[in-house]
Amino acid sequence: MCVKYRFGVWLSLVEHYVRDVGAASSNLATSTMFCRVGRDMLFCCSKVINISKKILVLVFLMFLYFFLSSCSRVSDGRIAGVASKPYSDELSVAIFVDNDSTFQALVCTKSVIDHADERTKYRFFIMTSEDFDNNFKDEFKKLENDNFRIEFIDMLDPDNSNFFELSKDSAFHKLSVSKFLLKNVKKCVTLDPRTLVFCDLNEVFKQLDLKDIYVAGVPDISNRNAGEEFKNKVGLETLNQCIEGSVLIWNLELCRENAVYQKFFQYAKDHICDVSFCSEDIINAVCYNKIMDLPFKFNFDVSMESEDLDSKDFTNFVFSKQELEEGREKAMIVNFSRNCAWEDLRLRYARNWWQEARTLECFKKIEEKYIFQT
Protein backbone atom coordinates (compact mmCIF):
# COMPACT_ATOMS: atom_id res chain seq x y z
CA MET A 1 0.00 0.00 0.00
CA CYS A 2 1.36 3.36 -0.99
CA VAL A 3 0.28 6.75 0.25
CA LYS A 4 1.27 9.94 -1.64
CA TYR A 5 2.20 13.15 0.15
CA ARG A 6 3.11 16.51 -1.26
CA PHE A 7 6.75 15.87 -0.51
CA GLY A 8 7.08 12.43 -2.13
CA VAL A 9 6.02 8.75 -2.01
CA TRP A 10 5.78 6.49 1.09
CA LEU A 11 7.90 3.36 0.53
CA SER A 12 7.84 0.13 2.50
CA LEU A 13 10.96 -1.21 4.23
CA VAL A 14 11.55 -3.74 1.44
CA GLU A 15 11.30 -1.10 -1.21
CA HIS A 16 13.79 1.07 0.72
CA TYR A 17 16.22 -1.81 0.86
CA VAL A 18 15.95 -2.60 -2.85
CA ARG A 19 16.44 1.05 -3.75
CA ASP A 20 19.48 1.53 -1.50
CA VAL A 21 21.23 -1.67 -2.65
CA GLY A 22 20.70 -0.76 -6.28
CA ALA A 23 22.04 2.76 -5.80
CA ALA A 24 25.12 1.53 -3.95
CA SER A 25 25.95 -1.08 -6.56
CA SER A 26 25.58 1.24 -9.54
CA ASN A 27 27.26 4.37 -8.04
CA LEU A 28 29.78 2.70 -5.75
CA ALA A 29 28.29 4.67 -2.86
CA THR A 30 29.68 7.93 -4.27
CA SER A 31 28.00 11.13 -3.21
CA THR A 32 26.26 12.74 -6.20
CA MET A 33 26.55 16.18 -4.58
CA PHE A 34 30.39 15.92 -4.46
CA CYS A 35 30.51 15.12 -8.16
CA ARG A 36 28.47 18.20 -9.00
CA VAL A 37 30.77 20.45 -6.92
CA GLY A 38 33.91 18.97 -8.50
CA ARG A 39 32.50 19.39 -11.97
CA ASP A 40 31.67 23.02 -11.28
CA MET A 41 35.18 23.67 -9.93
CA LEU A 42 36.80 22.14 -13.01
CA PHE A 43 34.61 24.26 -15.24
CA CYS A 44 35.60 27.44 -13.37
CA CYS A 45 39.32 26.52 -13.51
CA SER A 46 39.15 26.02 -17.28
CA LYS A 47 37.53 29.45 -17.63
CA VAL A 48 40.30 31.07 -15.55
CA ILE A 49 42.98 29.31 -17.62
CA ASN A 50 41.43 30.53 -20.88
CA ILE A 51 41.29 34.10 -19.59
CA SER A 52 44.92 33.88 -18.38
CA LYS A 53 46.03 32.70 -21.82
CA LYS A 54 44.35 35.68 -23.45
CA ILE A 55 46.01 38.07 -20.99
CA LEU A 56 49.44 36.53 -21.63
CA VAL A 57 48.96 36.84 -25.39
CA LEU A 58 47.94 40.49 -25.00
CA VAL A 59 50.98 41.23 -22.79
CA PHE A 60 53.29 39.53 -25.32
CA LEU A 61 51.84 41.55 -28.20
CA MET A 62 52.29 44.79 -26.25
CA PHE A 63 55.90 43.89 -25.43
CA LEU A 64 56.56 43.05 -29.08
CA TYR A 65 55.09 46.37 -30.18
CA PHE A 66 57.24 48.44 -27.82
CA PHE A 67 60.34 46.39 -28.66
CA LEU A 68 59.91 46.91 -32.41
CA SER A 69 59.20 50.61 -31.86
CA SER A 70 62.39 50.94 -29.84
CA CYS A 71 64.42 49.14 -32.51
CA SER A 72 63.06 51.34 -35.27
CA ARG A 73 63.85 54.48 -33.26
CA VAL A 74 67.44 53.37 -32.63
CA SER A 75 68.09 52.33 -36.22
CA ASP A 76 66.17 55.21 -37.81
CA GLY A 77 68.32 57.74 -39.62
CA ARG A 78 71.57 55.76 -39.66
CA ILE A 79 71.69 55.61 -43.44
CA ALA A 80 73.90 58.29 -44.97
CA GLY A 81 71.96 61.36 -45.94
CA VAL A 82 68.72 60.28 -44.26
CA ALA A 83 67.59 62.62 -41.50
CA SER A 84 65.27 60.99 -38.99
CA LYS A 85 62.89 62.48 -36.45
CA PRO A 86 64.83 64.00 -33.55
CA TYR A 87 64.32 63.23 -29.90
CA SER A 88 62.59 65.85 -27.81
CA ASP A 89 65.13 68.46 -26.73
CA GLU A 90 67.75 66.82 -28.93
CA LEU A 91 70.68 69.05 -29.94
CA SER A 92 71.82 68.86 -33.55
CA VAL A 93 75.56 69.21 -34.18
CA ALA A 94 77.11 69.37 -37.65
CA ILE A 95 80.85 68.68 -38.10
CA PHE A 96 82.66 69.07 -41.41
CA VAL A 97 85.13 66.35 -42.37
CA ASP A 98 87.64 65.73 -45.15
CA ASN A 99 90.54 63.31 -45.38
CA ASP A 100 92.92 65.69 -43.60
CA SER A 101 90.64 66.29 -40.61
CA THR A 102 89.12 62.86 -39.92
CA PHE A 103 91.03 62.23 -36.68
CA GLN A 104 90.36 65.77 -35.50
CA ALA A 105 86.63 65.32 -36.17
CA LEU A 106 86.63 62.09 -34.14
CA VAL A 107 88.33 63.83 -31.21
CA CYS A 108 85.92 66.77 -31.48
CA THR A 109 82.89 64.44 -31.49
CA LYS A 110 84.25 62.46 -28.53
CA SER A 111 84.83 65.67 -26.55
CA VAL A 112 81.18 66.68 -27.05
CA ILE A 113 80.03 63.27 -25.85
CA ASP A 114 82.35 63.16 -22.84
CA HIS A 115 81.25 66.58 -21.57
CA ALA A 116 77.53 66.23 -22.27
CA ASP A 117 74.99 66.27 -19.50
CA GLU A 118 73.38 62.86 -19.06
CA ARG A 119 69.97 64.47 -19.66
CA THR A 120 71.00 65.92 -23.04
CA LYS A 121 70.54 63.94 -26.25
CA TYR A 122 72.67 64.72 -29.29
CA ARG A 123 72.35 64.09 -32.98
CA PHE A 124 75.55 64.45 -34.99
CA PHE A 125 75.68 65.15 -38.71
CA ILE A 126 79.09 64.25 -40.12
CA MET A 127 79.34 66.17 -43.39
CA THR A 128 81.86 64.43 -45.63
CA SER A 129 83.89 65.70 -48.58
CA GLU A 130 84.85 63.76 -51.68
CA ASP A 131 88.19 62.61 -50.25
CA PHE A 132 86.71 61.28 -46.99
CA ASP A 133 87.72 57.67 -46.28
CA ASN A 134 84.47 55.76 -45.73
CA ASN A 135 86.34 53.16 -43.68
CA PHE A 136 86.33 55.69 -40.83
CA LYS A 137 82.54 55.66 -40.60
CA ASP A 138 82.81 52.66 -38.29
CA GLU A 139 85.03 54.68 -35.93
CA PHE A 140 82.31 57.31 -35.63
CA LYS A 141 79.60 54.68 -35.19
CA LYS A 142 81.46 53.22 -32.21
CA LEU A 143 80.70 56.44 -30.34
CA GLU A 144 76.93 55.98 -30.57
CA ASN A 145 74.69 55.08 -27.64
CA ASP A 146 71.15 55.86 -26.47
CA ASN A 147 71.92 59.59 -26.10
CA PHE A 148 74.09 60.10 -29.18
CA ARG A 149 73.10 59.41 -32.77
CA ILE A 150 75.46 59.83 -35.72
CA GLU A 151 74.51 60.29 -39.36
CA PHE A 152 76.57 60.97 -42.47
CA ILE A 153 75.80 63.53 -45.15
CA ASP A 154 77.58 63.11 -48.48
CA MET A 155 78.22 66.67 -49.61
CA LEU A 156 79.00 65.53 -53.15
CA ASP A 157 75.33 64.79 -53.56
CA PRO A 158 74.01 67.64 -55.76
CA ASP A 159 70.82 67.68 -53.68
CA ASN A 160 72.83 68.63 -50.59
CA SER A 161 75.13 71.40 -51.74
CA ASN A 162 76.02 73.34 -54.87
CA PHE A 163 79.03 75.04 -53.34
CA PHE A 164 81.38 72.45 -54.81
CA GLU A 165 80.81 74.18 -58.12
CA LEU A 166 82.78 77.07 -56.62
CA SER A 167 85.01 75.49 -53.98
CA LYS A 168 85.72 72.01 -52.59
CA ASP A 169 86.83 73.39 -49.24
CA SER A 170 84.93 71.49 -46.51
CA ALA A 171 84.57 74.77 -44.58
CA PHE A 172 81.83 75.74 -47.02
CA HIS A 173 79.61 72.90 -45.81
CA LYS A 174 78.42 75.10 -42.96
CA LEU A 175 76.68 77.31 -45.52
CA SER A 176 74.38 74.42 -46.46
CA VAL A 177 73.06 73.40 -43.05
CA SER A 178 69.67 75.06 -43.53
CA LYS A 179 69.18 73.05 -46.71
CA PHE A 180 70.07 69.45 -45.89
CA LEU A 181 68.57 69.17 -42.39
CA LEU A 182 64.91 68.31 -42.02
CA LYS A 183 62.49 71.09 -41.23
CA ASN A 184 61.88 69.70 -37.73
CA VAL A 185 65.50 70.60 -36.88
CA LYS A 186 65.10 74.27 -36.00
CA LYS A 187 68.52 75.04 -34.48
CA CYS A 188 71.95 73.49 -34.75
CA VAL A 189 75.59 73.99 -33.85
CA THR A 190 78.27 73.79 -36.53
CA LEU A 191 81.76 72.88 -35.34
CA ASP A 192 85.05 72.98 -37.14
CA PRO A 193 86.69 69.54 -36.72
CA ARG A 194 89.71 71.27 -35.16
CA THR A 195 87.75 72.33 -32.09
CA LEU A 196 87.67 70.74 -28.64
CA VAL A 197 84.59 71.00 -26.42
CA PHE A 198 84.68 71.24 -22.60
CA CYS A 199 80.99 71.82 -21.85
CA ASP A 200 77.52 70.55 -22.50
CA LEU A 201 76.50 72.49 -25.61
CA ASN A 202 73.08 73.02 -24.09
CA GLU A 203 74.78 75.66 -21.92
CA VAL A 204 75.29 77.72 -25.09
CA PHE A 205 71.76 77.13 -26.37
CA LYS A 206 70.12 78.17 -23.12
CA GLN A 207 71.80 81.58 -23.22
CA LEU A 208 70.48 82.52 -26.65
CA ASP A 209 67.27 83.95 -27.98
CA LEU A 210 67.61 83.61 -31.76
CA LYS A 211 64.11 84.79 -32.58
CA ASP A 212 65.22 87.38 -35.19
CA ILE A 213 68.80 86.16 -35.64
CA TYR A 214 70.22 83.95 -38.40
CA VAL A 215 73.46 82.95 -36.71
CA ALA A 216 75.51 83.49 -33.56
CA GLY A 217 79.30 83.29 -33.25
CA VAL A 218 82.31 84.68 -31.47
CA PRO A 219 83.54 88.06 -32.86
CA ASP A 220 86.33 87.84 -35.43
CA ILE A 221 89.03 90.15 -34.12
CA SER A 222 91.04 90.37 -37.32
CA ASN A 223 88.07 91.14 -39.57
CA ARG A 224 86.59 93.70 -37.19
CA ASN A 225 89.88 95.55 -37.26
CA ALA A 226 90.38 95.28 -41.01
CA GLY A 227 90.56 98.40 -43.15
CA GLU A 228 88.26 100.17 -45.57
CA GLU A 229 89.49 98.17 -48.54
CA PHE A 230 88.32 94.88 -47.05
CA LYS A 231 85.00 96.41 -45.95
CA ASN A 232 84.28 97.66 -49.46
CA LYS A 233 85.21 94.38 -51.11
CA VAL A 234 82.95 92.38 -48.83
CA GLY A 235 80.19 94.94 -49.26
CA LEU A 236 79.52 95.78 -45.60
CA GLU A 237 78.52 99.09 -44.06
CA THR A 238 80.64 98.35 -41.00
CA LEU A 239 82.81 95.49 -39.79
CA ASN A 240 81.50 95.46 -36.22
CA GLN A 241 79.38 92.34 -36.78
CA CYS A 242 82.01 90.03 -38.27
CA ILE A 243 82.12 86.66 -36.54
CA GLU A 244 84.54 83.73 -36.65
CA GLY A 245 83.21 80.56 -38.31
CA SER A 246 84.68 77.69 -36.25
CA VAL A 247 81.73 77.61 -33.82
CA LEU A 248 78.34 78.81 -35.03
CA ILE A 249 74.77 78.43 -33.78
CA TRP A 250 72.13 78.61 -36.49
CA ASN A 251 68.47 79.54 -36.45
CA LEU A 252 67.59 77.14 -39.27
CA GLU A 253 63.89 77.93 -39.16
CA LEU A 254 64.45 81.63 -39.91
CA CYS A 255 67.16 80.83 -42.48
CA ARG A 256 64.71 78.67 -44.41
CA GLU A 257 61.94 81.26 -44.24
CA ASN A 258 64.25 83.85 -45.81
CA ALA A 259 66.04 81.56 -48.31
CA VAL A 260 69.44 82.27 -46.75
CA TYR A 261 71.06 79.27 -48.45
CA GLN A 262 70.18 80.65 -51.88
CA LYS A 263 71.52 84.06 -50.84
CA PHE A 264 74.80 82.47 -49.73
CA PHE A 265 75.23 80.78 -53.07
CA GLN A 266 74.34 83.86 -55.10
CA TYR A 267 76.71 86.04 -53.09
CA ALA A 268 79.51 83.52 -53.56
CA LYS A 269 79.04 83.53 -57.33
CA ASP A 270 78.89 87.32 -57.50
CA HIS A 271 81.98 87.94 -55.35
CA ILE A 272 84.24 85.02 -56.13
CA CYS A 273 86.75 87.38 -57.78
CA ASP A 274 86.37 90.22 -55.27
CA VAL A 275 87.21 88.60 -51.95
CA SER A 276 89.48 85.89 -50.68
CA PHE A 277 86.41 83.67 -50.87
CA CYS A 278 86.26 82.74 -47.23
CA SER A 279 83.07 81.13 -45.93
CA GLU A 280 83.03 83.59 -43.00
CA ASP A 281 82.99 86.53 -45.43
CA ILE A 282 79.87 85.13 -47.09
CA ILE A 283 78.15 84.61 -43.72
CA ASN A 284 79.05 88.10 -42.47
CA ALA A 285 77.83 89.78 -45.66
CA VAL A 286 74.55 87.88 -46.14
CA CYS A 287 73.59 87.72 -42.46
CA TYR A 288 74.47 91.33 -41.69
CA ASN A 289 72.15 92.80 -39.01
CA LYS A 290 70.99 89.25 -38.21
CA ILE A 291 74.12 88.22 -36.27
CA MET A 292 74.60 87.72 -32.53
CA ASP A 293 77.89 87.73 -30.61
CA LEU A 294 78.90 84.81 -28.38
CA PRO A 295 81.31 85.16 -25.42
CA PHE A 296 84.98 84.59 -26.21
CA LYS A 297 85.09 81.45 -24.03
CA PHE A 298 82.90 79.60 -26.55
CA ASN A 299 85.58 79.81 -29.23
CA PHE A 300 88.99 80.42 -27.69
CA ASP A 301 91.58 80.58 -30.46
CA VAL A 302 94.86 79.23 -29.05
CA SER A 303 96.78 81.40 -31.52
CA MET A 304 95.92 84.34 -29.23
CA GLU A 305 97.94 82.78 -26.43
CA SER A 306 100.90 84.96 -27.39
CA GLU A 307 98.90 88.17 -26.78
CA ASP A 308 100.41 90.27 -24.00
CA LEU A 309 97.25 91.28 -22.13
CA ASP A 310 99.04 93.52 -19.64
CA SER A 311 100.40 95.84 -22.32
CA LYS A 312 97.38 95.71 -24.65
CA ASP A 313 95.18 98.75 -25.22
CA PHE A 314 91.58 97.58 -24.72
CA THR A 315 89.94 100.94 -25.38
CA ASN A 316 88.62 100.03 -28.84
CA PHE A 317 89.26 96.30 -28.64
CA VAL A 318 86.55 93.73 -29.32
CA PHE A 319 86.97 91.91 -25.98
CA SER A 320 87.77 93.17 -22.53
CA LYS A 321 90.84 91.96 -20.67
CA GLN A 322 88.59 89.98 -18.33
CA GLU A 323 86.89 88.20 -21.26
CA LEU A 324 90.22 87.21 -22.76
CA GLU A 325 91.53 85.93 -19.43
CA GLU A 326 88.37 83.91 -18.88
CA GLY A 327 88.62 82.50 -22.39
CA ARG A 328 92.17 81.39 -21.79
CA GLU A 329 91.70 79.88 -18.35
CA LYS A 330 88.11 78.59 -18.53
CA ALA A 331 87.46 77.97 -22.20
CA MET A 332 84.27 76.09 -23.05
CA ILE A 333 85.31 75.45 -26.66
CA VAL A 334 88.88 75.64 -27.94
CA ASN A 335 89.83 76.32 -31.55
CA PHE A 336 93.03 74.82 -33.00
CA SER A 337 92.45 76.00 -36.58
CA ARG A 338 95.65 78.07 -36.78
CA ASN A 339 97.89 76.33 -34.24
CA CYS A 340 97.56 72.57 -34.05
CA ALA A 341 97.53 70.63 -30.77
CA TRP A 342 98.41 67.40 -32.60
CA GLU A 343 101.67 69.00 -33.78
CA ASP A 344 102.69 71.21 -30.85
CA LEU A 345 102.31 69.96 -27.28
CA ARG A 346 103.41 73.32 -25.92
CA LEU A 347 100.09 74.91 -26.82
CA ARG A 348 97.52 75.57 -24.12
CA TYR A 349 94.95 72.74 -24.08
CA ALA A 350 97.13 70.57 -26.35
CA ARG A 351 97.45 67.90 -23.66
CA ASN A 352 93.66 67.91 -23.28
CA TRP A 353 93.36 67.16 -26.98
CA TRP A 354 95.72 64.19 -26.68
CA GLN A 355 93.96 62.92 -23.57
CA GLU A 356 90.69 62.91 -25.51
CA ALA A 357 92.36 61.22 -28.48
CA ARG A 358 93.69 58.47 -26.21
CA THR A 359 90.13 57.39 -25.39
CA LEU A 360 89.46 56.47 -29.04
CA GLU A 361 89.93 52.93 -30.32
CA CYS A 362 91.87 54.30 -33.29
CA PHE A 363 94.40 56.08 -31.06
CA LYS A 364 97.34 54.06 -32.40
CA LYS A 365 96.58 55.35 -35.89
CA ILE A 366 96.62 58.91 -34.55
CA GLU A 367 99.99 58.24 -32.93
CA GLU A 368 101.38 56.82 -36.15
CA LYS A 369 100.29 59.88 -38.13
CA TYR A 370 101.23 62.70 -35.78
CA ILE A 371 103.98 61.35 -33.51
CA PHE A 372 105.94 58.66 -35.27
CA GLN A 373 106.01 60.52 -38.59
CA THR A 374 107.10 63.90 -37.20
CA 212 to chain centre: 24
Residue 177 pLDDT: 84
Phi, psi torsion values for 39, nearest 5 degrees: -65, -40
Q: List, in sequence order, every residue forming a beta bridge with 151; answer none if it has no partner.
A: 125
pLDDT tens digits, one per residue of 118-155: 989 999 999 888 788 888 999 999 999 999 999 998 87
Domain ranges of the chain: 76-370
* 173 vs 281 pLDDT, higher one: 281
- Angle, to 10 degrees, between the axis of helix 279-286 and the axis of helix 260-271? 120
In the DSSP assignment, the letter for residue 10 is: -
Helices (H), 149-251: 177-180, 202-206, 221-224, 228-234
Residue 41 predicted with pLDDT over 70 = no
Q: Where does 76-370 sit in CATH, by number?
A: 3.90.550.10
| Burial tier of 111 (Cβ tally within 10 Å: 0-12, 13-18, 19+) | buried
Is residue 95 within 8 Å of residue 127, measured between CB atoms? yes
Residue 277: pLDDT band (50, 70, 90) is: low
CB atoms within 10 A of CB 247: 25
Q: How does residue 2 score in pLDDT terms, banded at 50, 70 and 90?
A: very low
**Average pLDDT over the chain, rounded to an integer:** 78
How many contiguous H segments (helices) and E segments (strands) does the chain have? 14, 12
Model pTM above 0.85: no
Mean pLDDT of 229-247: 86
User: Cα-flanking dihedrals φ and ψ of residue 143, to 5°?
Assistant: -85, -5
